[in-house]
Amino acid sequence: MELPTFIQIPYIPVPISRTNVRFAESGEYMKIWSYSQSHRIDGQGKLVEQANKFFEACEVHGNSMDSVRAYVFGLMRLFKWLKNDWPLFEKFTQKDLQDWMASMKTEGLKPNSINQRLNCARVFYRFCFNATIPRAPGVLYPKGYYRNRRYVNYSDNAGRRPSRELYIRVPKPVMKSMTPDEVNRFMSHLKRYRDVAIVLAMLSCGLRSMEVIALKFEDVDFHLCQMRVSGKRRKERIVPMSFSIMKAFEKYLLFERPANSKNRFFVILRGKDAGDPLNRETFRSFFRYHRKKSGVIAAHPHEFRHAFASDLARSGVQAQVIQELLGHAEIKTTEIYINLNIDDVRREYDRAMKRIEERYAAIQTKTTST
């Protein structure tokens, strides 16, 4: 008896979302298809073809989905400026990069966004031509600086050429963290154990948004009171858990988490997608809804991470310990997060001045004598 031959149907990835980007003055749109593990541009021309090869190479190299997504939207803006003309990109120089930078500045983009898109153009050019963007007259190059800030001494930089890439200076405003009253008002509107657990994961453990979303069930260890967190560039760290956050996690697992849930720790609770992992859009809509409901406009996900760092600093925790808990590669990044208000500064100043004045008898004599 002859067995039937089964036809093998190739696996075709199904996109989970689509973004339309206006591409030309005529109103033409390009589509960005987002899959579970990749992004692709749906369009014509060699620029689009090379871009999709570039995204594939990024995924093979191990870049995160966030990094690839940033490349996608950065290159889309570049293609729009080039009018999707490959020959123009072949002749691309630093002067063109400077003109594009001026165009983005005119459109009102923030310095960080402009610098990110400039970096996208540089990396993509190097991928296409295995070379850096050639120099050209009429470009004001910045003063050289060393890319890796960990090298602080001249001897450490010996033999290394400073970077002179075009960029826009980014202002460094004083970062303002959420007040305890704002945190309490926001949390008072949370009705589900899952929502409380999500906020506490950032407020009490300092997790990033994507770290919360990517947290797996086996990453949480209730016996050792700690969790394993997969951070940026797939760097893992161990974060301790307090009693309050463990209680919040336990209540969520006992009373709300569906029995058929996937491997992710935080999942959708209701509807046809119940048990599926939270995604970026669901996570953002959750915070958007509760910001509006509570009236705490500053309650963005990352603000709770800032509050965590500031609270640790106020409690006297060393900066190196905070750096380890936040998963920062550079201590300078941690210093940006540690935001102390004027009351904290005044308290420490008064405490220090009291000790200093005790050392100098003349100060006591001059200020107390009438």
Catalytic annotation, pick one of 232, 237, 291, 314: 232
Rounded distance, CA 209 to CA 287, Å?
Answer: 11
d(CA 319, CA 53): 42
Whether the CB-CB separation of 13 and 38 falls below 8 Å is answered with yes
Q: How many CB atoms lie within 10 A of CB 209?
A: 19
**Residue 285 Rama label (left phi>0; alpha psi -120 to 50; beta):** alpha
Which candidate in 39, 77, 290, 328 is catalytic? 328
Of 40, 69, 77, 208, the catalytic one is: 208
The one catalytic residue in 302, 332, 347, 351 is: 302
Distance of CA 155 to the CA centre of its chain: 33
Q: Determine whether 302 is an active site residue.
A: yes
The torsion angles phi and psi of 203, rounded to 5 degrees, stand at -75, -35
Helices (H) and strands (E) in the chain, counts: 15, 6
- Cα separation, 130 vs 120, in Å, equals 15
For 44-57, b/e burial (b = at least 16 CB within 10 A) is eeebbebbbebbee
Give yes or no: 337 in active site.
Answer: yes
141 labelled catalytic: no
Among the options 125, 193, 252, 337, which is catalytic? 337
> For this structure, is 208 an active site residue?
yes
The residue among 173, 241, 258, 179 whose CA lies nearest residue 205 is 241
Residue 21's beta-bridge partner residues?
30
* Dihedral over Cα of 319, 321, 326, 331: its sign: positive
Considering Cα of 147, then 150, then 154, then 158, what sign does the dihedral take?
negative
Q: Residue 185 corresponds to which amino acid?
A: R
Which pair of tokens denotes residue 68? 């690839």
Q: Is 306 among the catalytic positions? A: no
Q: Which of 39, 117, 305, 306 is catalytic?
A: 305
Element (H, E) at 227: strand 226-230
Query: How far is 188 from 267, CA to CA, in rounded Å?
Result: 22
As annotated, the active-site residues are: 208, 232, 302, 305, 328, 337
